[in-house]
């Protein structure tokens, strides 16, 4: 007996062999502070809670074992792929006056200037400074 299956495209997943890829959109606030995402699975109405740690970055990948496609071949043990979650960090297109004030205050605390172009060297200095601040904060928090 020959069985042929057609696999429909999904609005949630892209398939690569037994692995599934899902792009999860999170806000820059969720990325900075950490959050728990409810990630869809192949089972309708079933979600997996994914802990995203504080400081998550755009493009960061989380592989969830055993949540991909299952393949059963006669006489062989079933194999199941991974659900690979790619984080897509978004920023708001519009800010309220208060949100702008808070972000400006945060920029000032971080030593960042806003509203003008910066050179690549200035950008590298900012990134290094932010990494040091995060490292110092983690040490102060006992991490």
In a domain, 3, yes or no: no
> Are 118 and 81 in the same domain?
no
What is the structure's pLDDT at 137? 46
Task: Give the global pTM.
Answer: 0.72
> Are 82 and 106 in the same domain?
no
Residue 122: which domain range? 97-140
CATH number at residue 46: 2.60.260.20
> Are 133 and 79 in the same domain?
no
61-64 and 14-16 beta bridge pairing: unpaired
Tens digits of per-residue pLDDT, 3-47?
666 666 777 888 999 999 999 999 999 999 999 999 999 888 899
> Are 71 and 54 in the same domain?
yes
In a domain, 132, yes or no: yes
Tens digits of per-residue pLDDT, 53-104?
999 999 999 999 999 998 888 888 889 999 999 999 999 999 999 999 999 9
C-alpha angle 45-12-43 in degrees, rounded to nearest 5: 30
What's the structural domain count of the chain?
A: 2
What is the structure's pLDDT at 112? 79
Backbone angles phi, psi at 138, to 5 degrees: -65, -40
The helix/strand count (H/E) of the chain reads as 3, 8
In a domain, 2, yes or no: no
């Amino acid at each position: 007996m020959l069985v042929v299956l057609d696999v429909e495209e999904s609005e949630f997943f892209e398939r690569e062999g037994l692995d599934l890829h899902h792009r999860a959109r999170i806000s820059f606030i969720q990325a900075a502070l950490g959050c728990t995402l409810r990630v869809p699975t192949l089972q309708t109405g079933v979600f997996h809670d994914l802990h995203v740690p504080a400081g998550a970055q755009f493009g960061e990948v989380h592989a969830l074992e055993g949540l991909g496609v299952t393949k059963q071949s006669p006489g062989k043990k079933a194999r199941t792929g991974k659900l690979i979650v790619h984080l897509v960090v978004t920023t708001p297109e519009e800010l309220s006056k208060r949100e702008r004030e808070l972000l400006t205050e945060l920029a000032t605390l971080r030593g960042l200037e806003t509203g003008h172009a910066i050179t690549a060297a200035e950008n590298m200095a900012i990134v290094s400074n932010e990494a040091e601040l995060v490292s110092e904060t983690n040490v102060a928090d006992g991490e």
